[in-house]
Structure 1
Amino acid sequence: MSSLVKIRSERDQMSAVERRIADFILENAQLLRDYSSQQLANALGISQSSVVKFTQKLGFKGYPDLKYSVGEAIARADNGDAGEIATDLRGGETELRANELWRRKSEAEEETRLINAPKTLQAVADAIAAAGCKGKVFMIGLGDDDIYARSFALRLSLLGIPSVHNFDAPRMAASVSAAGAGDVLLVFSEHGSHQALCKIGRFFRERRGLLISVTRHTSNPLRALADLALLVSAHDDRPYIQPVLYQSALQHLLDRVFVQLCEGDEQRHVQLLANLERVQQALEP
């Protein structure tokens, strides 16, 4: 795992001092080889011990190990850049931009994969599967988040797992009044701070249902309330790129849950094939 990817993926969970160190390294990775831990501390106006603790928290033995790892990451990136330059000469600037976007999406997906433990994804898949057999799966997202809630609800229906999907908070509040133990509610909220969704989540938990949040990898009210949390890590300084990365990483995360549901039960797999065939027949002229 690249040290730079690890720093970027962990940044949102760091303290203010740790974020300053992380941002400096991410923005000045090429210069890090010329900095001792004391020089880095002086540049940021912090103590040397803060730098050492930062490196150890990331799993490195010390600052020299971190510096070496960052150097390796830069070397790998430089090799990739050389390939991009050759592509640029052959295919033009548009192709170069496409390659850069693909790389940034890949990084976001990798960061998201690293912060969602396999046992968490398995627990989410198991909860949805159990609710599909003996209970109900509720699903809500507002605005752009509804796109993914709606799409995931459709995928679940293909597996024979019906869901109660809604994009209207008051109606969902009424729907979850019928929830009970064993039911599952997935709440899609990028920033996890929408008050109406948090209220619905609390109401659902009062009904003894299991709440699953799908948010950014930040400390937020919805994530704190959830029994299980799916997290998305996607960062970019460009305001038009960051949402693209978030959407790509989120879709990849949901794909992983869907695949686990498909492969976790032969009956669901058979149901999927049968439903796909029915859909195809319905689309034929």
Structure 2
Amino acid sequence: MDLRIFTEPQQGATYDTLLTVAKATEDLGFDAFFRSDHYLRMGSADGLPGPTDAWITLAGLARETKRIRLGTLMTAGTFRLPGVLAVQVAQVDQMSGGRVELGLGAGWFEEEHKAYGIPFPKEKFARLEEQLEIVTGLWATEIGQTYSHDGKHYQLTDSPALPKPAQTKVPVLIGGHGATRTPRLAAQYADEFNIPFASIEDSERQFGRVRAAAERAGRKGGDLVYSSALVVCVGKDDAEVARRAAAIGRDVDELKANGLAGSPAEVVDKIGRYEAIGASRIYLQCLDLADLDHLEIISSQVQSQLS
């Protein structure tokens, strides 16, 4: 079971804070550091000092880390033109020595689009499908050849399809709860399918849909990595769990029901139940980025017990 650290910087974090967490992620033996791609805070957080850009952040971290994978859950398709995104991700992959992964979604948070003057089109899912085709098509085009795309939403003519990523294949993550279109897109384009903040029962159902869609598309269901994203709140005792829950404005019982919360033994047990339904990777949503002791206890008392 891979454990990855997943952050939400729009809630309030500087680049230096993210660098500190990423270095702790690496030092403590976690598999990867991922971040959301948002420009506006959510809920009661003040969001200070303001948002950081996902791919600028990852470019910096690419030069300041050595081992961990780096990526997004999820890059909003509404934020970047697909050709530009392909260039950005390829460059950051080169900067990291081939450690980047691209999570790409349709974009959903209308208020952040209004706040920063970003168009919020109605046909986001159709655009996402074209974006996936373009980004992966650009990377797959052989050097010396050109790439063209004549779609409803995007047109590319004789693109040199450069630069190329350092990796032969940048892993592409697709995720969500949709019952039909999402599994179909994952089957066609994804190396990994991620379901965020879902129960074991709902996760098992969605993994099954994706496996079935993959087989219909001529792939083996097991060709994809299946992963979950869950908020994490671990403590050595009830008091420490309660303190960490209060720091992120959440209720302990709610976290235990909907996330990974409680003692290390409780969290290991619940991770095992996700593993039993096919998840081989968990993204641990860490909301208090100042609490590095939280990462340490997860590393020493949770991760150490997982195969």
TM-score by length of 1: 0.30
- The structure with the largest helix share of the pair is 1
- The structure with the largest strand share of the pair is 2
Rg (Cα) greater in structure? 1
TM-score by length of 2: 0.28
